[in-house]
Amino acid sequence: MITAIVVEDERLIREGITEQVPWKKLHIDEVRTAANAEIALNTCTGYHPDIVISDIRMPGMDGITLCTKLRELLPDAQIIFISGYSDKEYLMSAIDLHAVHYIEKPISLTELVGAIRTAVSELQKTRTEKNNVLHTLLNASFSTQNEDPLLLQTKTTTFFVTVLQRRGRYGTTETDAFTDTCKRIRGCGMPCLIDFTDERKMVVLFFSEDKRKLAELYQNTDFWASLVGRQTQRKSPAAFPAPESLFAGIGIQTAGSGGVRQSYETAVQALNCRSFKGWCNYAYNSEAYTERTAAPEPRLFADFKKALADRQEQRALNILSAVCRQLVGANSLLTHPVRNLYYTLDDAVQKAYGGRIPDAALPAEGTAIKEHAETIQELHAYLCCSVHAALSAEDTRKSSFICKRITNYIQNQYADKQLSVQSIADAVFLTPTYISCLFKKETGQTIGQYLLEYRLKKAEEFLRNPQYKIYQIADMVGYADAHYFARLFRKQTGLKPSDFRNQADYHEKPRC
């Protein structure tokens, strides 16, 4: 992913650049703008653009000063200057800042596009070189003579390796992952090298001569949680993690080229912890895990089978949760004995259903996840869905009957201004939460959405009758406030009630 920022105080020029340059063709994914250097500096603190296109003479801080500050923040950024002056001092400053190009106004689009293309080429070249360096560091044996001068010319440099593994979609191949992850990593302010061992694993080597600064990043749990997306992880035990979920294994801190390989190996070892910690998480190399081999108590299977036979869904789910907690609490890896335990439980569910549960009753990944799951939580989620599908199969007819009662009640009582989910639940002798979930599952919409659509449908019928005033129609369909009714009607249909009436009158009048 390549990003850019355009810094120009003249609005027409700024907008002209952003609109006329073919950014996508130049492989630039995101472009931001700033009207002066101060705004640009604040933006770049969090944005970290790869290419900076900046005017030189601007009110306040000039472009030279801005890019001098940005060079410290973004040492690899490619800089392109634009100016209405061919001043020798400016040219020398641009050379000192290793600018890609110096373009004089009025700007030639062809010249600017050429400069940007050069900047992109230099970026890609630098990234390839760094990737090659990391690949060599991870796979070669070093001596004093062949150590890489970019990294290992000083013995005070310290390192640590992080390996990020992506949870992929089962049965598919995704090659466009890690784009946002790379952006967040490069935005952390720590020098790093990035390489990919395969389509699901990314290796990051963080390095610095400041041991304290590197240690702060190493111990920054907020950074690691944000990187793997832990704050957005679904909390429902039966919900499958998003395909973009990550797990990060963090290797030991070390110094010298020989330690890079060791840090990488400990990071890979830490990836094993995903078995019990789950996706959207991370682990340090020091975290322990166990290979569970002991079989569960026979009573567990008996209790689970009885719960299925008695069609006690909640009891069956409670047993599954107890198994999951036991395995996770013991830091168990997803070994063959653990998988066999879940296969045995799944076999009991299939028998309770009376055959193989249809794929349509399970999440899209349901059948494949048994073989490809990498975490205990995934197998637990799959079994929870299977239990629900098996034990709720007989309730389909019952659910349809309840939904029919709800829609009939709404169609008879829609004019009641006090009509609510609570009053509907009271009418069908069930709880509001239960009927809300059931109705949404069966119909794909909420009770409130259905009520709104039905009321407005009736309103359309009444609007075709000219004897009714609009405020009367609002009252007739359950709204005390005619203005509120009119807003709802316009939002739903795109027309004001009066416009709808006029349109209906026009279509219904006989034409000569």
Q: What would the pLDDT profile of 330-358 be if each residue is shown by its tens digit?
A: 899 998 889 889 998 998 888 877 667 76
The answer to whether 454 and 446 have CB atoms below 8 angstroms apart is no
Q: What angle do CA 117, 204, 70 make, to 5 degrees?
A: 50
At 171 the pLDDT is 41
Q: With bands split at pLDDT 50, 70 and 90, how would you rate the model's confidence at 505?
A: low
Query: Strand, coil or helix: what is 150?
Result: helix
Q: In degrees rounded to 5, what are phi and psi of residue 129?
A: -60, -45
Q: H or E element: which one contains 341?
A: helix 336-353
pLDDT digits (tens, 9 = 90+) for 95-123: 778 888 888 889 999 999 999 999 999 99
Cβ proximity of 36 and 175 under 8 Å: no
As a whole-number percent, the residues of the chain with pLDDT over 70 amount to 83
Residue 176 has pLDDT above 80, yes or no: no
For the ranges 22-26, 308-312, 421-425, 505-509, which has the lowest average pLDDT?
A: 505-509
pLDDT in tens, 474-501: 999 999 889 989 999 998 889 999 899 8
240 pLDDT higher than 70: no
Tell me: cis bond preceding 106? Omega within 30 of 0 counts. yes
pLDDT given for residue 394 in this prediction: 54
CA distances from 248 to 128, 208, 255, 280 (A): 23, 20, 21, 8
- CA separation for the pair 102, 82 (Å, rounded): 6
pLDDT of 147-165, one tens digit each? Answer: 444 454 445 688 899 999 9
Alpha carbons 357 and 362: distance in angstroms, whole number: 8
Q: What pLDDT, in 10s, does the model give residues 34-71? A: 999 999 999 998 788 999 999 998 999 999 999 999 98
**Res 293: pLDDT:** 55
